[in-house]
Chain A
Amino acid sequence: MSAAANRVDTAGVLNRLLAELTDVAHAAGPRDAAERLAAAVRDAGADSVDVVEVEAGHFNVVGRTPGPSDPRLLVTDLDALRMSAVDTADDEPASVTVSDGFVRGRGAEAIGATAASLLALSARADAGSGLRFLAATGSHEGGTGARHFLDGCGSDLPAQAVVCSPTGLAVHNAEAGITQLVITLKGRAVWVGQSSLLPWVNAIDKVLTAVARLHDSTFDGPGHADYPGLPSLTVTAIRGGLTEEFNTWRPAIVADHAAVLCDLSHPPGVPADEVVAQVRTRLDDLAAHDEEFDYELATPPLTRRDPWHGLALAAPPLDPSTAADAAAAIADVHEAVVGEAPRVVARPGRGGGLAGHLGAEGVSCVGYGPGDPERPGSVEVSEIQRAGDVLAGWSRGGTP
């Protein structure tokens, strides 16, 4: 069967999907978004679709086409789809248009990636394959949705998975892992007028000392050719003031609490714990030379309230060796559909994808999808169609 013949009525289906997925981005909240996406998944041909509450207010959409359990899993990022509507400066809802062969508008890349996965689902709906589908929540919180799904699989783990995300039809066969740290320094408060009379310790001064030490550090590890510079620590936020609430309205009193939120990126092959241990060693060294350096180090699960909105989970890295089977399968189908071999590359960036959790459970997983991650807001319709064809081919076992 040719690739063209394998396509469903892509123009019609795609237009319907784009409308449905834009509708998801306009949802009133997480549950509404999940239910709207669930409806789209049913429309794509899945006969078993559930909205699963991962934790209060956070939902996965889990579906399967009719048939016995298939060893393959399609994964999309539900939060990316939903948050494309609100995670912007002007809070205008996502709204895409289709014209001149492009899907354009904010959220186009998230909508395009999800549309490709639903095209594949649609193509496999009548094949009796039991292809599984997961729209996962919590991608920005360390992959809570993916973790919840995997925990529910028991022994029925998929053998291969594709995370449908904007890769420009490249195959992403590696990801950096990421975890977060909150480093808190405790000081001793005193009013400025008594600063020459009573002992005090400025927690802000101490935490900035820690920042300088850690930011300027290089961390030991085998390194990874695709991730030069990792492991690395990035300081993303600071708070300092009085008490654990970081009260800021009385700067005449020496701050007794200060903390920084740090992202710790690490390449495949370097576990997070090893890098965290190196961070702790550096902090211990500071404490050894300064008896007033009184620190605490917290790792996920971190508070997700103000001020940190921290990760609930560490996102593990994806090792290319784990991804190899899926990468080879996708590459083969891609070459058959597109006519040339895809680029097989590591996912750029400092980590935090969904694939790492799958890989950590032994699922051979890659990232693949339409849309250039460096150029959000525009996806070629034909690229969505090609991605749908490739994913459909992969889902039937490598036959384009």
Chain B
Amino acid sequence: MTDRAEAIMRHIDDDETIELTFDMCRIPSFSGEEVACARWLAGRMEQLGFDEVYLQEVEPGRPNVIGVLKGDGTGPSFMFNGHLDIDPFPADQTEPDWRPSIKDGMLYGLGVGNMKGGNAAMVMAATALKRSGLPLTGDVIVAGVVGELQGGIGTRHMIDQGLVPDIAIVPEPTNNNVRTIHAGVLEFLLHVTVPASTGGRDRPANAIRQMHDVMEALKSVRYTYTPREDLPALPAMVVGAAMGGRTSDYLPSPIGEDAGHCTLAVDVRLAPDMTVDSVCADLERALAPVRDAGVDCRIDLPPAAYAAPFRAMGLFMPPNDLPTDDPLAQSTFRWHREITGEDPQLGVYIPGSYAGADSGHLAQAGTRCLNYGPTHHTRWHNECRLSNLSTATRVLAQVAGEFCTRAGTRRNGGTQA
């Protein structure tokens, strides 16, 4: 280990990382409700000595939080990007408990898995760099973003505002594996509309009844893509929400009148060679027989699903496919091995590679980007192994140090890039 690496490592305190994780898990931050968490994190990063901390308003009252450690501009800019919004609360969980806990080496808390554990690791990794006193060549940026679960609207806004780093790690749940590949995500609305009820004796059409036929057609869709053995579940589709009623206002129809409008919210996970256009063409083919039978159905692409009342993904989330021999991937792999003595998975990580992530937006903007985070995919993303949290903090800090500080000298001689 180099002097630089040791300097960084000395400033990582696992208890402090756990405390930061606890603090974030205590703050509810469902999508659209991230502001309290963003403000709290801004204050915390100021306390930790970040050179610059600011809120970047994505929508009124809904800010990203950005913390910056300033470099001298001679090296690449490096971003840690983590989303503040957390998954909703399914029915088969108990009531939300915003009091995190530790048991048997695991940290339990709402949202810790996706991805407050990763967020804590990235903040403390950057803090370790700051405390090490090593001069930075490039800026190290910590971005806590809103609305990743809604298509990455926070990161997309950040990019549109011109904040595009050269390199980024998004510490999404990868169980400390190096995920360089993930799916693209398309969420769209599918509407069925029928003419207003005539009130006659013939049974009028009913949009909800017709949606059953559309649902059956969706199950039969055959996608155009190249199957990949390492991503066997792609493409995948889920129908996650439904609303229907009188009209597109979704109010119940008046007494005895058939529903005139029904909408499904659909999530599709794209294999790497699929595009929005190819998905739409595949869907249109599947829906053709239903249309031929007289059903008026219509696909409504992003940003439709973001509009009220759905508030789902407002953007297409592009896939990411960073070559595994990229220096970022190799560095992350190497540091994980150095710290744990074990090789992480590199490239595809199942099931994490079936997720979308802000890394897709960053990659599309030209950032070399991957995912490496301490948590893993449980059913409800509410747990984090403490040893993983410790490892991730160290690996993230060392990778950032490798790209954003001068080369260090190894104790056993030689230098490290």
What chain A residues lie within 8 Å of B23 (beta carbons)?
Answer: none
Distance in Å: Cβ of A92 to nearest Cβ of chain B: 18
Given contacts A208-B208, A260-B208, contact A249 B238 (CB under 8 A): no
* Shortest Cβ distance from A243 into B: residue: B91
- Check A251 against B187 for contact (C-beta < 8 Å): yes
Identify 7 residue pairs between A and B in the complex whose beta-carbon atoms are under 8 Å apart, listed by A's number.
A140-B255, A191-B379, A191-B381, A193-B354, A204-B242, A229-B201, A310-B252
B258 beta carbon closer than 8 Å to chain A: yes
- The residue from B238, B262, B267 contacting A238, defined by CB atoms under 8 A apart: B262
Known: A248-B309, A255-B242. 11 other contacts (CB 8 A): A178-B255, A193-B183, A193-B269, A229-B203, A238-B211, A242-B90, A247-B241, A249-B150, A251-B239, A251-B305, A252-B240
- Check A238 against B208 for contact (C-beta < 8 Å): yes
Instruction: List residues of B (231-267) whose CB comes within 8 Å of A's CBs.
Output: 232-233, 236-246, 250-259, 262, 264-267
Instruction: List residues of A (246-292) whose CB comes within 8 Å of B's CBs.
Output: 246-258, 260-261, 263, 265
Given contacts A193-B377, A251-B266, contact A212 B212 (CB under 8 A): yes
B310 beta carbon closer than 8 Å to chain A: yes
- Check B241 against A240 for contact (C-beta < 8 Å): yes
A211 beta carbon closer than 8 Å to chain B: yes
What chain A residues lie within 8 Å of B257 (beta carbons)?
Answer: 234, 236
Distance in Å: Cβ of A313 to nearest Cβ of chain B: 13
* Shortest Cβ distance from B309 into A: residue: A248
What chain A residues lie within 8 Å of B355 (beta carbons)?
Answer: 193
What chain A residues lie within 8 Å of B236 (beta carbons)?
Answer: 192-193, 195-196
Distance in Å: Cβ of B72 to nearest Cβ of chain A: 41
Can you list the 8 inter-chain pairs with the closest CB atoms, starting with the nearest? A251-B240, A350-B256, A240-B242, A193-B354, A248-B241, A196-B233, A237-B252, A236-B253
- Check A249 against B215 for contact (C-beta < 8 Å): no
A235 beta carbon closer than 8 Å to chain B: yes
- The residue from A186, A234, A238, A349 contacting B244, defined by CB atoms under 8 A apart: A238
- The residue from A189, A191, A196, A249 contacting B31, defined by CB atoms under 8 A apart: A249
What chain B residues lie within 8 Å of A232 (beta carbons)?
Answer: 203
What chain A residues lie within 8 Å of B232 (beta carbons)?
Answer: 196
A47 beta carbon closer than 8 Å to chain B: no
What chain A residues lie within 8 Å of B354 (beta carbons)?
Answer: 192-194
- Check A238 against B305 for contact (C-beta < 8 Å): no
- Check B206 against A235 for contact (C-beta < 8 Å): yes
- Check B255 against A189 for contact (C-beta < 8 Å): no
* Shortest Cβ distance from A187 into B: residue: B91
A343 beta carbon closer than 8 Å to chain B: no
B40 beta carbon closer than 8 Å to chain A: no
Distance in Å: Cβ of B312 to nearest Cβ of chain A: 5
How many residues in A have their beta carbons less than 8 Å from beta carbons of B?
A: 63
B327 beta carbon closer than 8 Å to chain A: no
> Chain A: residues with CB nearer than 8 A to chain B?
140, 178, 186, 188-198, 202, 204-205, 207-209, 211-212, 215-216, 228-229, 232, 234-244, 246-258, 260-261, 263, 265, 307-310, 349-352
- Check B352 against A193 for contact (C-beta < 8 Å): yes
- Check B351 against A250 for contact (C-beta < 8 Å): no
B149 beta carbon closer than 8 Å to chain A: yes
Distance in Å: Cβ of B8 to nearest Cβ of chain A: 33
How many residues in B have their beta carbons less than 8 Å from beta carbons of A?
A: 65
B87 beta carbon closer than 8 Å to chain A: yes
Q: How far is the CA of A196 from the CA of B232 in the complex (A)?
A: 9
- Check A349 against B256 for contact (C-beta < 8 Å): yes
What chain A residues lie within 8 Å of B185 (beta carbons)?
Answer: 252
Interface string of B330-361 (1 = CB under 8 A from A): 00000000000000000000011011000000
What chain B residues lie within 8 Å of A246 (beta carbons)?
Answer: 241, 243
- The residue from A202, A236, A258 contacting B258, defined by CB atoms under 8 A apart: A236
* Shortest Cβ distance from B214 into A: residue: A208
What chain A residues lie within 8 Å of B255 (beta carbons)?
Answer: 140, 178, 236, 263, 350-352
- Check B92 against A238 for contact (C-beta < 8 Å): no
- Check B269 against A248 for contact (C-beta < 8 Å): no
- The residue from A188, A215, A309 contacting B206, defined by CB atoms under 8 A apart: A215
B311 beta carbon closer than 8 Å to chain A: yes
- Check A192 against B88 for contact (C-beta < 8 Å): no
> Which of A205, A228, A309 gathers the greatest number of chain B CB atoms within 10 Å?
A205
What chain B residues lie within 8 Å of A247 (beta carbons)?
Answer: 88-89, 241
- Check A256 against B91 for contact (C-beta < 8 Å): yes
* Shortest Cβ distance from B262 into A: residue: A238
- The residue from A140, A204, A249 contacting B88, defined by CB atoms under 8 A apart: A249
B291 beta carbon closer than 8 Å to chain A: no
Distance in Å: Cβ of B183 to nearest Cβ of chain A: 8
Q: How far is the CA of A249 from the CA of B250 in the complex (A)?
A: 16
B410 beta carbon closer than 8 Å to chain A: no
Q: How far is the CA of A202 from the CA of B354 in the complex (A)?
A: 19
* Shortest Cβ distance from A309 into B: residue: B252
Distance in Å: Cβ of A306 to nearest Cβ of chain B: 9
What chain A residues lie within 8 Å of B262 (beta carbons)?
Answer: 238
B209 beta carbon closer than 8 Å to chain A: yes
- Check A237 against B241 for contact (C-beta < 8 Å): no
